[in-house]
Structure 1
């Protein structure tokens, strides 16, 4: 945590000192504030927990209730080698638009091993009806890490409910 704070402080200092030499004009501090509430934060955290519990329960239907719709972006972000391989079949392949959530739901239903997704370093940034949730994750199968990486969710509040409309992750 201390290392992350030092890195952030160093990066901010570098940006601050670089600004005049790059022609970026210093502007007065904005008087803008995010529109966020403790109730929204709690509701977003509840979505995260319901997702986590649904993975453990292998309940794709429960996860689908957390989604804005079943056609959302729900993809691992491929490395360049995987993109290049995909372009052998489709010259326009960009690493997105794979089987998405329906495939994940089928995986959950058919998986015999005990599974769990663990979240750490969770950051929620919200402004009104839009939220970004970012975290480090570990996906476990029978108690062993199957893959890990960083995951980003975009959520939208509609009809008083927070719904996920994008899930992307890296995997190593």
Structure 2
């Protein structure tokens, strides 16, 4: 009986360890997607960039934060506080000196779906253009994580500089 109890405890511990390794592996894979995303922008690698996404349609919506939107309304009174785009349009708009930085990353996943949230800053010619919060939805397809949605807030650095926070 004692041996059976020890065996069951060891079996339970090994199952818990295996489950934790699975989560760690998925989180590492998702972090690699984030790194690849940033790297593709810097290296101008559209082919690899496009492989990060699931089949169209991909939800891509930016919401302009209140302070920036109020300034924009002075120039364009009917301006919406959001815009829709695609990852391909986003990529085409990048300049040669574009860079996006991610920090305060939080990944929630269950092995099939994932939600990733983080703060970001977008840079052009080594000058911060805008910043905000970003959220991605991902799914695991045939063993590979793919981005299915990108939602983000946008604040102009010139209008309302990003507060200093832990990165």
TM range (shorter): 0.5 to 0.7
Query: For residues 34-57 of structure 1, what are the alpha-carbon distances to aligned partners after superposition, in whole Å with 9 as ceiling and x for unaligned?
Result: 996111111111111101100111
Runs (4+) off by over 4 Å: 79-82
Distance in 2, matches of 1:132 and 1:150, equals 13
Distance in 2, matches of 1:95 and 1:141, equals 21
1:65 to 47, 51, 69: 51
Q: How far did residue 62 of structure 1 move?
A: 1.7
Residue 162 of structure 2: aligned partner: none
Distance in 2, matches of 1:86 and 1:100, equals 19
Query: For residues 86-142 of structure 1, what are the alpha-carbon distances to aligned partners after superposition, in whole Å with 9 as ceiling and x for unaligned?
Result: 67xxxxxx945x23222112113xx24x11101110000112301111000010111
Distance in 2, matches of 1:151 and 1:106, equals 20
Q: CA contact under 8 A between 1:120 and 1:136: conserved in structure 2?
A: yes
Q: How far did residue 73 of structure 1 move?
A: 0.6
Q: How far did residue 61 of structure 1 move?
A: 2.5
Distance in 2, matches of 1:139 and 1:74, equals 16
Residue 18 of structure 1: aligned partner: none
1:85 to 47, 72, 78: 78
Residue 156 of structure 1: aligned partner: 139
Tell me whether 1:132 sits opposite 2:115 in the alignment: yes
1:43 to 13, 18, 29: 29
| Consecutive unaligned residues in structure 2, runs of 5 or more | 1-18, 156-167
The residue correspondences of 1:102-117 to structure 2 (distance < 5 A) are 102-108=88-94, 111-112=95-96, 114-117=97-100
Do the aligned partners of residues 44 and 78 (structure 1) sit closer, same or farther apart at CA in structure 2, a change above 3 Å counting? same
Distance in 1, matches of 2:64 and 2:113, equals 26
Q: How far did residue 79 of structure 1 move?
A: 5.2
Tell me whether 1:122 sits opposite 2:105 in the alignment: yes
TM-score (norm 1): 0.66
Aligned length: 128
| Consecutive unaligned residues in structure 1, runs of 5 or more | 1-33, 88-93
TM-score (norm 2): 0.68
